[in-house]
Structures are given as structure tokens and as C-alpha cells.
Structure 1
Amino acid sequence: MLEKNYRPEDVEKRLYEEWESGGAFRCNRVHGEEGGLGDPYAIVIPPPNVTGSLHMGHALNNTMQDILIRYKRMTGGDVLWQPGTDHAGIATQMVVERQMEKEKLTRHDLGREKFIERIWKWKAESGGTITGQLRSLGASCDWERERFTMDEGLSRAVRKVFVQLHKEDLIYRDKRLVNWDPLLHTAISDLEVEQREVQGTMWYFKYPLADDPSRHIIVGTTRPETMLGDTAVAVHPDDERYTDLVGKDVLLPIVNRRIPIIADDYADPEKGSGAVKITPAHDFNDFEVGKRAKLLVINVLDREAGIRADDLEIWRWAETETGAMTVLAEKGDDGNQLTERLPDHLRGLDRFEARDVILKDMERLGLLDKIEENPMTVPYGDRSGVVIEPFLTDQWFVRAEVLAKPAIEAVEQGKTVFVPKNWEKTYFEWMRNIQPWCISRQIWWGHQIPAWFGPDETIFVELTEEEAHAAAEKHYGHPVELQRETDVLDTWFSSALWPFSTLGWPDKTPELAKYYPTDVLITGFDIIFFWVARMMMMGLHFMKDVPFHTVYIHALVRDEKGQKMSKSKGNVIDPLVLAEKYGADAMRFTLTAFAAQGRDVKLSESRVEGYRNFVTKLWNAARFCEMNECKPVADFDPRSCSMTLNKWIIGKLAECQRDVEAALDGYRFNEVAGALYQFTWGTFCDWHLEFAKPVLQGDDEAARAETRATTAWVLDNLLHLLHPIMPFVTEELWRQLAEDRPYSLVTGKWPQLGGDLINAEVAAEMDWVVRLVTSIRAVRSEMNVPAGAKIDALLRNADDGSQARLATHRDLIERLARLEKIETLEGDVPDGSVQAVLDESTIVLPLASVIDVAQEKARLEKEMAKLNGDITKADKKLANPGFLAKAPPEVVETEKERREEARAARSKLAEALEMLQGAL
């Protein structure tokens, strides 16, 4: 016998351990009694960082994947959900280094080899946190195939890809600007840069003309410390104020270097003075200007972003053999690299200390023109929390523009589609403007780049050190000593190979042949550039096929007010806390129910609590069935049913299955949840079980037996349909409601009900009863009829069909609508009656003896007046340009939602008032 209450804490862990240990999640599994394998279906999990813990984005993402995986598994597919974690280079190195700080150790104290050993030890002890959390949410990954981006197999794939791309001239080494983290001493990707809005300062400096110091040109800067590396001043070609100055030189203050005034479209005549200082080594836009004008490039900062203590390196632009522009060191006549020495009082200063000194110097020289407040965006490292510097260093790059072309064509040709489709525009915009991809990082944890340097800096890129030495000996004609590149690869480089490296590539494994390309990738929009696009490029280049046919982009999970969750706001909702409090099924169903395409999920604890009530409703319905001996009947044939009640619920179940499948195939997850919720709570619990009570409690044994068997059959199939979203409670009910089940629900077959079970005539009859009872209940509620009061009802102008339905189901209607009696009416409507339309007929409820009609009218008018006031206030606010411009988007959206809710409520009140008019 089922317990009175469902206790997820007693069920979830037990069931999951049984599923996993029993191999329920394995791919290549024989499905069903026929012993065959279905079509392959594969999803690769977006590998979470090994340092991470489950947040609400993970919960949404993995719930969606698990729904598809469980559905495809039940429909007989040979299903692989490939799990794994990412080594998360910088994040993981920081975790271990912070641990070592407590021991007053640095990684340099240990050395590279010992430090990496320590990280592997940490990974073995603590790196499985997030995979354990995914299990608690019910994720049915094939855990026996779990991979890690630094497994030997995946590392071999990384080396293979790097070497091949280098030999194809698609990877090269160059000196370029990168996002430099001065605390971590490494280049970082754009994704790892946090742009913060701050109130900054704009300083305006006078740069004297070199040949006429009495004249000067004014430039503005927010970073005075970089002026030491200025190599030009740019003005717009059409700016008449400076036409006579283009081609002349100014004398750069403090260092007294002559630099040219150049014409370039980058300078904005409408901004500041219209003249801008150009520092190619310390600004990405200036770097491009420097490339166009072939300016000197001077790096004035060191690895800590302080002013260099040694001589500055000066670099010039030169044509390479391939015709591409690159930065090269140029030698002077004496064979020494061109250098410049900074004033002693600036050398070795922190960048912000140097800023203060330079400002004082410029003021002392009379060259500080003015100072203005300047709202600006400043880049910070998302992990280090320090200001990021554009920094000129030797880095490894991928010619992404070459790899991007096939990836663009694949989406244009529909080989891979985005859902929702509008995200294709975002993909194309980035891919068509793609820049070289910096893939090197100056840290220790990661895939060390397989490159070795000879005595003259010749580079040898090979799979192994032995092959590198052989290549060097062939090049030099004798053995030489080589130095291994110390940089490691960007984490996105290895994760770009994830769809095929996890399947055993570069070996030709059976899994690779079967599951590549995968079917769908579910991910957030924020990594379309950094991960999705790169998987497309690598998959097409190495596998000659797209890595997935569909990319489903899910929205953000926000708080109930529509605000983005953040620790600083204190509005972060922990999915594990909610799952522990209300059960994983309630958590999963909530996320699914609100996961509409293109719309952010607004989440609150109350919504999860509401869907916990849905789980409870299902449990209670199952207990009702059990107590009324609705037990599964072997070989039950739903087509053999003779009773209208049973034919109706069978047809409704078939409709539900049809709608659920269509929504799943279209990735409309909220519609999946909506169809199941409506059928479970609305149709099965609220109507069928109520319709069935008189039969189950009656004396007609044949009717009782058919209804019991039908109800049990419908519940069994409903558990199958609900299982992908709510795996735990459905499995528990499946096991407890009958003995000796032939299979666990997790490996059960998806129902194949067929459209022939939908009987239009039966549906019309019973749906009419539902709509009649619903209408009467609605009027009772709107008119404030006491719940316990039994009233009369009349059906006016009913045709023969409606009269026949009324005659057949009169007892049922009177019981469910709490009526004394219901009859047909041929004559006039009695005074004091409220009316509602139902198809061709009119429902007439004589209420004069039950409620004070005039008083009820006054109440409704008062409520409507309040709503009118609320709507007018909201309309004014939403028509105010100031409010729309200043209020956060989520506040504006909330105001719109409140207005729509008020309008809907007013509409219902208007309908009620209209009904009352006839009663006066």
C-alpha cells in the first residue's frame, strides 16, 4: 500500500543508485524484449569545470538534456549521453594556488612537475563534486564513459590537432595584443574578461609640435601611463582643424620622442578634441591603426603591468613571406635591437603609481590642459579581479577566419540549425568578423603546447619530444639541445574537440562511427562564440561533418522579478537546496514548465513549491486508484472498452501523448510540461477520477471492472509520459502499484497509443459535460455563491444533442456542480437569474434567493474601479520615456506583466457584471 505522503528523500538516492549500478544509462544497450538496437542518438554534455558546483543554469541545461535522453531511450534509441568535465586551466590552478598560500607556498617553490602532481591529487579528491550533484538531480548520463579534458586519450587528440593545424599553416606563433591578466601572468579570453561600468576620468594633454613648440595638439586619454608608448597622434582625414598638421611630428612629452600626426578614420571629430594618441602596444584599436600606418610598436609595461625597469623594445611592421602583416624585431646597424630608455624616476613603478607621477610631470611642464569626469567601461579579470591590460606578447594563434568559412556554410545550408532560429544571426555576425584565436596561456595546468625551440629560436612542432629532436637534427645537420614551449593551450581548444575526442578520436572507434555527429547540443547563448562555433570549426575540419545537427539555445534563469541572479544582489537560488526541500522532480518540472523558447525563466521558491504540489497530486491520485482496486490487467485492450467515460479518458491520453511528442520534437519544453500538467491534474485527476467515482462505488460489476482496468492502464501510461521530466516519483509509483513489473520504468517503452483511440463523438459528449460544470462553477465563484449552497440550474434553448447529454449525465452534473437539480427551460428566464452561454444554449442560474444581486453588483463595480486605476497608473508609467530609459529592463517587463494581469482580471469582472445585468 502506498504511503500517505511521498517522501523524495527516501526514494531519490535509492532509485538512482539502482539505475546506475544496473546499467540503465549505458549506450549500446539492447532495448525491449525483441533484443534489437534502435537508431543511435547522442548528446554530449557541456563539460562543467572540474572546480565547479551546480548552479541554476546547470540545472536547467541538464534537465532539458535528460528529458530528451530519457525520451529517446524509451522510444528505443541506442542512446548515448556523454558526460565529462573540463580541466578549467586558470580556475583550477587558482584553487590549488590558494590552498598553497595557506602553507606559504607558491607553485614556483614546487616547480612545474610537482605542482601539476598536486593539482592531479586535488582533482582526484575534490574534482567530482559537480558530477555527484548532477546525479542528485537525476541526470542519466552514461557515467561509465565519463571523460576529462586532460585524460590521456583526449590529450592525444589535442596534440594531434595542434600538430596537424600547425603543419597546415593554420596555427602560427606571433607577437600580438592579448587580454593580459597582471595578477595571473597570462593571456585570457574575452569570455574571462568582465566589463565593469565605472565613473572614470579623461585627462587632456598638450603635445607640442616638434618644429614649433609654441603650437600644440590636444589629445584626451583615460590611461596616462600608456602615453610613454605613444607612436603617433591620429586625426580624422576630413577634420579641417588639423589638415595642415597631418604629416608633421609632435614631441612626446617626458620621453621627448618625435612621433607623427597621421590621418585615420578611427579618430572621431565629434569626440573630445578630435585628436587621439595612438599606443599600438596597449590598445586593441590603436594596434589596428598602427598596423595600417606601419607605426612603431613600443611595449612600456612588464608582466605585472608595471612600467618596465629595463630598456624598452621597439618593434616595426614588416611584410612576411606570406604577405601578412606581423610584428617583427628590427635590428639596428650595429646588430643590436632598437631600444629606448625611459626616465629613471618612472622605471619599475606600478602602472597606477606611474599614472600619478606622469600627471604631476605633465602639470609641472604646463602640458595638462583639462580634466573631465568620464563614464567608461573598464575590463577586469573575472577570476583575479584586477584591471586587464592589452599586452604585446608572443602567443600562438589559430587562423580562425579560414576554419570559419565551412562552419558558416554548414549553418547556411541547414546542416546545423539553431533553435530558436534568431541565434543564427548572432552566430553569423561573429563568424563573419572572426579574429585570429589566441590559444596560448602562460600557466602550468593544461595541455602543454607540443613545440620545441632550437638554439636560433627555430620552432619544431611535433607529437613527441623524440620526433622534435629528429626534426631538429635534420634541420641543423647535427643533434642540438631543444627547449620545450612552457605555455599551455586555452581550455576552449580542448573543449572544441569534445564531440569527437570523447568518442575515441583519433582512433577509429565503433563509438565514433556510430555516435558522430551527435544530435543536439543544449547550451547557453553566452558561449555560442567561444564553444559552439569552435566545435563547428574543428568538427568540420577533422571529421568532415558537423558535430551536431541542432543547437538549442536556452535562456537565462532569473529571479522572480526578472533580475539576473548574482551573489552581490543576494538573489541566487540554489537548485540543490530547492531539490532537497521539495524533491528533484518538482525542481525539474518547474524549470521545464517555464523554459519557453526565447524567454528567460523567472524562478521563485513558491513556484517550485507549487510543482511539489503537482507531484503530491499525482501521488494522491495513485493512492485513490490503489484504494479502489484499479490494478493493471494483463493484455488490456483499450479498444475493447464500451463505456463512454472510459473511451473518453483513453482518447484524452492519446491526445496528450501526441502533443507531448510534437513538443519534444520541436524542443518546446514548456509545452511538454503544459500538456502533461493539464492532462494529469485537469483531465485525469479533476475529471476522470470524479466521473469514475460513482462507477467504482456502484453495483455494476462489469462497469466497475472495465473502469478499474481503464484507470490503471491510463495511470501506467501516464507514468511513462511523465517519466522524462519526473523520473523519481514515476519510477516509485510504477514499482509500487503492481507486483512483478517486467521492467523498470527507466528502461520502459514509450507508449504508442495511436490516433484511432481518439473518438471525436465521445470527446464531444464528455467535453460538453466538463464545459457545463466548469461554467456553472465559474458563475458560482464570480457571484460569491456559498460553497455549500445547492442551487438550481436551467438549460435554455438546448438542442436535441445537448438534451440527450443532459439526460445521460444529469446525476454526474448535479453532483459535480453542486446543484439541487438541472432541467431544460422552454419559456422565459426567471427574475434574478444569471446567464452564461454554452454553445447553442444558455445556462440559467436563478440566484435571487441565494445572493443579494444589487450588493454583488456594487462589489464587482468597486473592484473594477480599483483595477481601472491600477491600469491607468501602469499605462502612464509605461508611456513615460524617462521611466523606459532609466528603469532596468526587468522592472519594465514586470510592470507590463502587472498591467496585463490587471486587464485580464478586469475582463473577468466585466463578464460577471454583464451576467448580473440580466438578474436585476
Structure 2
Amino acid sequence: MRELDKQYDPSQVEDSTYRFWLEHKYFHAERDPEKRPYTIVIPPPNITGQLHMGHAMDETLQDILIRTKRMQGYSALWLPGTDHASIATEAKIVAAMREEGLTKESLGRDGFLERAWAWKEKYGGRIVEQLKKLGSSCDWDRERFTMDEGCSEAVKEVFIRLHDKGLIYRGNRLVNWCPCCMTSISDAEVEYEEQEGSFWHLLYTVKETGEQLELATTRPETMLGDTAVAINGADPRYQHLHGCHVILPLLNKEIPIVCDDHADMEKGTGVVKITPAHDPNDYEVGKRHGLPLVRVFTYDGRMTGPADKAAADELIAGGRAAADEPEVLDCGKYAGMTAKEARKAILADLSAGGYLKETEPLRHDVGTCYRCHTTVEPMISKQWFVKMEPLAKPAIEACRSGKLKFVPERFDKTYYHWLENIKDWCISRQLWWGHRIPVYYCDECGEYVTAKAMPDKCPKCGCTHLHQDEDTLDTWFSSALWPFSTLGWPDTEAADFKYFYPTNTLVTGYDIIFFWVVRMVFSGLEHTGETPFDTVLIHGLVRDAQGRKMSKSLGNGIDPLEVIAQYGADALRFTLVTGSTPGNDTRYSEEKVKASRNFANKLWNAARFVLMNLKGELEPGLPEELDLSDRWVLSSLNTLVKEVTDNIEKFELGLAAQKIYDFIWDVYCDWYIEIAKLRLYGEDEEQARSARRVLVYVLREALKLLHPFMPFITEEIYRALPGSGESIMISAWPVWREELCFPQDEEGFTNLVALIKAVRAVRAEMGVHPAKKTRIFIQTDSPADFETGRAYLEKFAAASEIEIGSAFSGDASGSVQVATDKARAFIPMMELVDREKELARLEKELAGCEKEIASASGKLNNQGFIAKAPAQVVENVRAQLARAEDKKAHIQAAIQALG
């Protein structure tokens, strides 16, 4: 038996405990045919990343699930790894090179990649070490990286398969383009910032009638690329203009008026300019009406000029331009200007020509690059795309059929919405760090071939001069394969793939359902025939105490590592999960962390008390003869085991944590230990031994339930208890036992404790000295519960004499009354207290009771709450309302008795 320090110091426990776990390889999952596998793959953090509260929440929830399943006897694999994060990583490396006066071009591709890998080795593992500080029990022996050899092999295999099936193609389409990073970026990498802007109202002259059409734009510099003006075909104001044309100001160019529903009759004038090469909505209008694409921006964000047009014309003349190649405009006097400079010059010329009617101030959301914060330009660009419609249909069906489920279920609507409105996915990036596209072009005839390595010769003309595509693949392309590429696929006979795939639970935030979850699902179905996981557990954001999103601009971000250094990882973990519900945001506050730290201290002190009162060898298991309080605490623990296990199975982790907290703090520490002292310090040694055995048994089982939530302190206490195994991590999860089910004793003793609490509370509020004993009359319909607990009433309610009955025959006006759900206590204390003060106390208690009734009733009358909250939570609120209404009746009776 090991002695615990006087005070619990996480800094002295956590690092050494984590090393102990690693040394014994408790995190490592073996392929055991006798065990069921349970697999979670970690959402791979970027190698550029640093642990933040979102990570801490995400990893804590995963760790709770994996530790529980490990203890339940599963071969539980939590597979860790990191993502290469193309844009973010390349940006960091380029910035570091800039300080040395270097550029990518000066190093060359091979030199740059050599430097990038060195950077990854030096800094890429930082977040992994931070995850360990949190207590993450990942199988680090299986740690993966999205650009390691196995993952790279999977990426090439998938690209070639999809291309061969006609699901990957190259073409000119509208993409998000960052003029600073000089690459296409995904929707996930576009951040919207509210900025000051304007609506500029322009006038376009109708060729056939001479009238002027008014339209508004936030980007007048794009007008040079207008190829149409749209009206709604049903708009009565413009029926006479069907089939007409307008003259594009400044260019004096004739463009058609098209009828399209994109023109909203209820907004503005109902007329919109159409620039298909530089606006996503206009691009779709252009496709519907066969409009030409006119590009007016260079890829570095300037207006196109004669050299740009000449290069494009040369491609066309040489027959090397694709059918969907956009026209490039020579923007004349505006050529070479930045978008901002061109806007100013164009507006001046529009005003001078009488084409600018008015300027309307506006605050609106503008898309910017998440990495460099440059305004993103929608741009026609030749890229590689994945056809999404054929891949989306099986992913939709997987969810509809129940093979894939979301927790909470409401998030399947987001999933369906995105898949049902999906567009082809741009997968190429103009970067050097990442998976290079496995396509090789013939320098002689222009033919291309997909292959995992450079072919010896062109399959069309036999030329031996080939070069690889310069672009790399979108980071999401490789992370979409994460659940199976990390387990050995495309080798379908790989031992880990056969045993651990499909995985079980994916834990992620609601902000990346579209970008990652959907891609993993359709990739898993397409390449393995299975959904990559059966459940997606969605959690919300961690907000600050005021409910605001944590951000650099607000300065309200909290560093989890600083919290761990001050309060311990257990305190942070418990804070993040307590009160959380799937899919909903949670608030972080230092007060909550302090409360969790205090809970750890309470548990530590209780364990020290138990250990200090053990004498010699302790017999294993429970005694044959159980005291009433023993049956109460054991039955309460038994109920807790069943409820917590059920809560975890339903992913109600916050509810499970709260129940464990309530049991340990209230039932075990505040009551059972105090009750057990009567026997521990009594003269009957047999009773003392029984009390010690129950104390240890209950503590050990409670520690097991708490372990997934607070792994460090539970390990430290568990190994100090006599008769425990080598580690709580590999101990058996508690199970409900019929022989420990004492429902009548559990309910009866709970009622007794509730009455004792109420009596003590009223005595304390009235300032009655603890040593002052009084007579108590208990009015109840359950007399047996209180008859069996007389000794406890005498001890803990300071009762000198106890009478129990169904009705009180004494003078109620001379008694203080205490009401609980199951009883009323009459205490002759009026000579010790002020009647008016007692009435005031009861009125205050009545007001609190009415507030509780109003709160519970409000929730139950809220259909949104009924629909979204777990069934058990709704039942708990109903029970709370019933208890409060019963208590209110007792309080009102007490007030009436006092006159």
C-alpha cells in the first residue's frame, strides 16, 4: 500500500504517470481475435498547429471513449497522426526563407522540399507532444503523417482509379484564387471578414430602345469582364427587353440581356450584371446561357494587359487551347493595375461618362484567404477536378439507410444539404509542399498519362521526354483517405486494415462536416465499399465565459497548456466535458476550472482518509453482512454504473461526468465517509473492518468510472489502494450487478439523507449551535425509511427524540417545519428563533421553488428543447418539476402552520 502525499500536485504526477503508461505500452492496441475491435482515427491536426481549446475538447472526448472501450475489454485503437497542411506549412517555410533573402525559385523545387522536410522534422511534432500533456492515450506506435510513404501510396492509387473511371478531369472552371499565395484554395480555406464597402449604381444603355438600365455592384472593376445583363423573365418591368442588348460602358461593347431566375425581382432594380469568369453565381448563369468567359485579372491580382491577351491568343492559334479556355481581355489603360487601383480609375471614368448614378455605403462579408488574409478572387483557372455527383449518391444513401449516423441526429440535415447541392471538387493546388499530382505530360505530343512513377516513354508517340504536373493535391484529398490509408490500404490484406477497419466513431466539430466528414464518407464507400465509421459525434465550439468565440482579434483565447500548468490536465478535461452536450457550444471560465480542481482535491483527500484508516491486510471484496448505509452506497454505485455506461454509449458524456461528480462529492465524500466514521471509530472491530472494505470497494469502482474523464489522479489513487492491479487503465470497467441492487434501501436512505440535509440547513440558517439537540417529529407516508435510520437522524440531525407518523398532532405554530419530497419535519425550536425570520426564510425558499418550477415548465413547453435534448435529460427535467411542485406544497403548508 502506497501513501499519498498530503496535497495533490498535478505537476508531480502527470508527466511521470504518462511515462509509466508509455513504458508499459497500455495505449498499444493488439489485433486479438478474442476481442472486438473499437477504432477511432484522430482528426489529424496540422503540423503547423499548436494546441488550442478546440483541440483540447476534441481530444478529451475521443480519449474518454477510447479509455472506456479499452476497460470494457475491446481492442481499442486510437490512431494518431498529423496533416501536412499544404498552404499553412508552405507559407511558414517561405516566410522563414524570406528572412534569409531566399525564395522558392532561387532554391528550386528539390531544394525547397529538402528544406520543407527539415522544417517538418523540427517543428511538425510539437502538437503531438502537446496532446500528450492532455493525457491522450493514442497508440503512438502507429502514428501516421499524411505524406508518409503509406499515405502517399494511397493518394496515388486513388487519383489513378478515379481518373481511369472518368471521375477526375482537367478543365477551366471557376475556383477560389488567392493572388498572394498564388494558388487555388478550397471553400474551407476562405474566411469571411466584414468590411466597409459600397454599392455602386451603374447605368447600362439598352441598344434597341436607348433607355438606361440601373444595376448595382460591389466590384465595379469586374465590369470589363461582363458578358451579359440578367433580368427575371417574369419581371413585368422588363418584358419589352427580352432578346435585347446593352452597351457595356467604357468598352462600348454589345452584350445580351438574358432572362434568368438569378435576377431577383424583389432586390434593387431586378437587373444584375453577369461576369462569368469572376463570380460564382454569374458562372452558373453563364453555363445556363452559353455565355463567353472573359478573364480580366492576372493570377497575381492585376488587370490583364496586351501580353496576357497575346499569350492566350497564341495558345488558341497553336491549337493548344482547350475548348473551355477563357478569353483574356486587354484592359487597355487599366492593364497592370491592382484591383484596388483599377476600381478607383474605372469609377472615375464611369462618373465622367455619366454611367455612375450613385454610391451607397455598405458593410458586407468579403472572402479572404485564411492564411494570408488577402481578398480571394473568384477566377477561371485550369485545374484538376473530381466529379462529385456519382460519389455523392452512395454517401447520401449510407446515411438514409442508417449505416452512418450523426450525434446529434439533426446534423444529418447539414450533411444532406451539402451533398445534394454538391459541385465538382477542385483538387489541384499551385504549391510545392504536398502530394504532387501523379500525371506526366509528353514534351513532344502533349499527351498525358497517370502513373505512380515517371513512365519510360509516352504511350502515344514513344517520346522519352516527359515531365510531371507541377501542381500538388488539395490537402483534403489525402485526409479524405485517412481512416483507411492509415491502416494499410490499398493493401486490402494488411492485418490492421482487416482487423480495425471500418472504424467506429469519428469525433469532430460541426464546422468541418462538409469539408472533411463528407469527403471521408464518399471516399470510404468508393474505395473500400464500407462507410469509414458508423457514428459521427459532433461537438460544438469552446467559447469564453461571455459566450464569444475565442479569437486573436478579441484577445480572449486561452492556451490549454497554461491551464494544465496551473490546474492540471484532469481539471481542464473535466471542465471541458462537464455540462457539454453533443452539437452544442460550451463556455469556458476559470471558475469552472477551479471547481474541477477542487473536485480533484476533494477526491484526493477522501482517498487519503480511507488509506489512513486501513489497518493491516484488507480482505478482498465486500463483507457478507452489510449495514443499511452500505446497502445504500453500494446500490447507489450500482445504479451509477448502469446510468453512466448507458450515457457513454449514447455519447452523453457531459451528463455522465456530472453524475460521477455528484456521486463522489455528495454520496461518497460528504455522506458515506461521515457515516462510516461511526463504525471506524466505534468499539466493534468487525463493523470497522466491514466499513473499510466497503469504503475501498466503492472508491475503487468510482475511480474506474471517473478514469476516462480524469485519468491522472484516478491512476495515482488506484495504484495506492490495496488489492488493485498494476494500472487502472487495464482494469475492468464496472458492470451492474444484481446482487448489489437494493432499490428500497437506496431510495429509503436517499430520502433520509435529504431530510437530514434539510434539517441541518435550517438549523445553520437559524444559527442554532451544532451541539444543541432537539426533538423532531417526522410526518411521512414512508415511515419505514426513517425508522431504520433513527441512529443517523440522532447523529446527523442532532435529534434528542424522534417521533415518526403519518400526521402531526402537536402545535404546528410552535414548530419550525422542514419539507422534502417525502417528508415534513416539525422541530420545536420557536423559543430559539424569531417567528418573522422563519416566515421570511420560508417565503424565500418558496420563491426559489417557484423559480425552479418556472424554469422546468419553460423547458418542457419548449418544443425545440423536447426535440433536441436527449430523452434522459427530458425525463430528468420532468422529475425535477414533479419534485419542485411537491416541495412547494410542503412549504406552503409550513407557512400556513406558522400563521
For the criterion TM > 0.5, the same-fold answer is yes
Cα 1:329–1:851 shift into 2, 3 Å: farther
Q: Is the 8 A contact 1:313 1:338 kept in 2?
A: no
CA deviations over 1:652-680 (Å, ceiling 9, x no partner): 22111111110111100012102211211
The answer to whether the aligner puts 1:356 opposite 2:344 as a matched pair is yes
Cα 1:61–1:365 shift into 2, 3 Å: same
Cα 1:73–1:634 shift into 2, 3 Å: farther
Tell me the amino acid that sits aligned with residue 791 of structure 2: D
Deviation at 1:912, TM superposition (A): 5.7
The answer to whether the aligner puts 1:750 opposite 2:747 as a matched pair is no
CA deviations over 1:516-544 (Å, ceiling 9, x no partner): 00010010111111111100001011110
Query: Aligned partners of 1:441, 1:389: CA distance in 2, in Å?
Result: 15
Residue aligning to 2:700: 716
Cα 1:828–1:180 shift into 2, 3 Å: same
The answer to whether the aligner puts 1:513 opposite 2:498 as a matched pair is yes
Within a 5 Å distance, the mapping from 1:445-460 to structure 2 comes to 445-454=433-442, 455-460=444-449
Q: Is the 8 A contact 1:41 1:79 kept in 2?
A: yes
Count of residue correspondences:
863
CA deviations over 1:874-907 (Å, ceiling 9, x no partner): xxxxxxxxxxxxxxxxxxxxxxxxxxx9xx9999
Query: Aligned partners of 2:99, 2:798: CA distance in 1, in Å?
Result: 72
Deviation at 1:510, TM superposition (A): 0.5
Q: Is the 8 A contact 1:314 1:338 kept in 2?
A: no
Segments of 5+ residues of structure 1 without an aligned counterpart are 31-35, 317-327, 873-900
Within a 5 Å distance, the mapping from 1:185-200 to structure 2 comes to 185-200=182-197
Query: Aligned match of 1:502 in 486, 507, 511?
Result: 486
Deviation at 1:865, TM superposition (A): 9.4
Residue aligning to 1:72: 69
Within a 5 Å distance, the mapping from 1:744-893 to structure 2 comes to 744-780=727-763, 783-786=765-768, 788=770, 790-797=772-779, 802=783, 806=786, 808-824=788-804, 827-837=809-819, 841-858=823-840
Farther off after superposition, 95-104 or 910-919: 910-919
Within a 5 Å distance, the mapping from 1:589-628 to structure 2 comes to 589-628=574-613
Tell me the SS of whatever aligns to 1:52.
coil
Residue aligning to 1:6: 8
Farther off after superposition, 269-278 or 763-772: 763-772
Query: Aligned partners of 2:562, 2:54: CA distance in 1, in Å?
Result: 14
Deviation at 1:837, TM superposition (A): 4.3
Deviation at 1:851, TM superposition (A): 1.7
Cα 1:375–1:91 shift into 2, 3 Å: same
Cα 1:292–1:827 shift into 2, 3 Å: closer
Residue aligning to 1:436: 424
Cα 1:59–1:343 shift into 2, 3 Å: closer
Query: Aligned partners of 1:734, 1:339: CA distance in 2, in Å?
Result: 73
Tell me the SS of whatever aligns to 1:355.
helix
Deviation at 1:21, TM superposition (A): 2.0
The answer to whether the aligner puts 1:44 opposite 2:28 as a matched pair is no
Tell me the SS of whatever aligns to 1:444.
coil
Deviation at 1:297, TM superposition (A): 0.6
Q: Is the 8 A contact 1:69 1:81 kept in 2?
A: yes
Tell me the amino acid that sits aligned with residue 603 of structure 2: L
Q: Is the 8 A contact 1:89 1:445 kept in 2?
A: yes
Give the alignment's Cα RMSD to 1 decimal: 3.0
Deviation at 1:698, TM superposition (A): 0.7
Segments of 5+ residues of structure 2 without an aligned counterpart are 855-879
Query: Aligned partners of 1:246, 1:262: CA distance in 2, in Å?
Result: 7
Query: Aligned partners of 1:338, 1:612: CA distance in 2, in Å?
Result: 63
The answer to whether the aligner puts 1:92 opposite 2:89 as a matched pair is yes
Tell me the amino acid that sits aligned with residue 766 of structure 1: F
Residue aligning to 1:53: 50
Tell me the SS of whatever aligns to 1:111.
helix
Q: Is the 8 A contact 1:631 1:738 kept in 2?
A: no
Query: Aligned partners of 1:308, 1:712: CA distance in 2, in Å?
Result: 79
Residue aligning to 2:871: none
Residue aligning to 2:465: 481
Within a 5 Å distance, the mapping from 1:338-357 to structure 2 comes to 342-357=330-345
Deviation at 1:832, TM superposition (A): 3.0
Tell me the SS of whatever aligns to 2:306.
coil
Deviation at 1:219, TM superposition (A): 2.3
Deviation at 1:796, TM superposition (A): 4.4
Deviation at 1:582, TM superposition (A): 1.1
Tell me the SS of whatever aligns to 1:345.
helix
Tell me the SS of whatever aligns to 2:211.
strand
Query: Aligned match of 2:389 in 386, 390, 401?
Result: 401
Query: Aligned partners of 1:796, 1:725: CA distance in 2, in Å?
Result: 41
Tell me the SS of whatever aligns to 2:25.
coil
Query: Aligned match of 1:180 in 177, 182, 187?
Result: 177
Deviation at 1:506, TM superposition (A): 1.1
Tell me the amino acid that sits aligned with residue 683 of structure 2: D
Q: Is the 8 A contact 1:632 1:709 kept in 2?
A: no
Query: Aligned match of 2:258 in 259, 262, 266?
Result: 262
Deviation at 1:827, TM superposition (A): 2.8
Residue aligning to 2:451: 462
Deviation at 1:769, TM superposition (A): 2.1
Query: Aligned partners of 1:413, 1:787: CA distance in 2, in Å?
Result: 66
Tell me the amino acid that sits aligned with residue 857 of structure 1: L
Query: Aligned partners of 1:717, 1:859: CA distance in 2, in Å?
Result: 40
Q: Is the 8 A contact 2:295 2:329 kept in 1?
A: no
Tell me the SS of whatever aligns to 2:766.
coil
Tell me the amino acid that sits aligned with residue 371 of structure 1: T
Cα 1:675–1:211 shift into 2, 3 Å: closer
Deviation at 1:914, TM superposition (A): 5.9
Query: Aligned partners of 1:39, 1:866: CA distance in 2, in Å?
Result: 50
Tell me the amino acid that sits aligned with residue 653 of structure 2: F
Query: Aligned partners of 1:540, 1:855: CA distance in 2, in Å?
Result: 71
TM-score by length of 2: 0.91
Query: Aligned partners of 2:176, 2:116: CA distance in 1, in Å?
Result: 25
Cα 1:905–1:226 shift into 2, 3 Å: farther
Cα 1:682–1:310 shift into 2, 3 Å: same
Cα 1:13–1:338 shift into 2, 3 Å: closer
Query: Aligned match of 2:400 in 407, 412, 415?
Result: 412
Residue aligning to 1:529: 514
Query: Aligned partners of 1:440, 1:599: CA distance in 2, in Å?
Result: 34
Query: Aligned partners of 2:413, 2:361: CA distance in 1, in Å?
Result: 37
Q: Is the 8 A contact 2:545 2:588 kept in 1?
A: yes
Cα 1:445–1:824 shift into 2, 3 Å: same
Query: Aligned partners of 1:807, 1:333: CA distance in 2, in Å?
Result: 100
CA deviations over 1:669-720 (Å, ceiling 9, x no partner): 0121022112111111111111111101011121111111121122122222
Cα 1:794–1:129 shift into 2, 3 Å: same
Query: Aligned partners of 1:545, 1:195: CA distance in 2, in Å?
Result: 35
Q: Is the 8 A contact 1:397 1:438 kept in 2?
A: yes
Tell me the amino acid that sits aligned with residue 636 of structure 1: G
Deviation at 1:304, TM superposition (A): 1.3
Tell me the SS of whatever aligns to 2:626.
coil
Tell me the amino acid that sits aligned with residue 416 of structure 1: L
Farther off after superposition, 236-245 or 157-166: 236-245
Query: Aligned partners of 1:865, 1:200: CA distance in 2, in Å?
Result: 53
Query: Aligned partners of 2:755, 2:404: CA distance in 1, in Å?
Result: 49
CA deviations over 1:78-120 (Å, ceiling 9, x no partner): 1110000000000111111111121122212211111111111
Query: Aligned partners of 2:490, 2:127: CA distance in 1, in Å?
Result: 28
Residue aligning to 2:106: 109
Q: Is the 8 A contact 2:846 2:892 kept in 1?
A: no
Cα 1:704–1:334 shift into 2, 3 Å: closer
Q: Is the 8 A contact 1:299 1:313 kept in 2?
A: no
Tell me the SS of whatever aligns to 2:515.
helix
Q: Is the 8 A contact 2:147 2:434 kept in 1?
A: yes
Residue aligning to 2:243: 247
Cα 1:632–1:536 shift into 2, 3 Å: farther
Query: Aligned partners of 1:753, 1:836: CA distance in 2, in Å?
Result: 35
Query: Aligned partners of 1:632, 1:354: CA distance in 2, in Å?
Result: 87
CA deviations over 1:827-879 (Å, ceiling 9, x no partner): 3235331223457753102231222121443577699999999x99xxxxxxx
Query: Aligned partners of 1:457, 1:130: CA distance in 2, in Å?
Result: 44
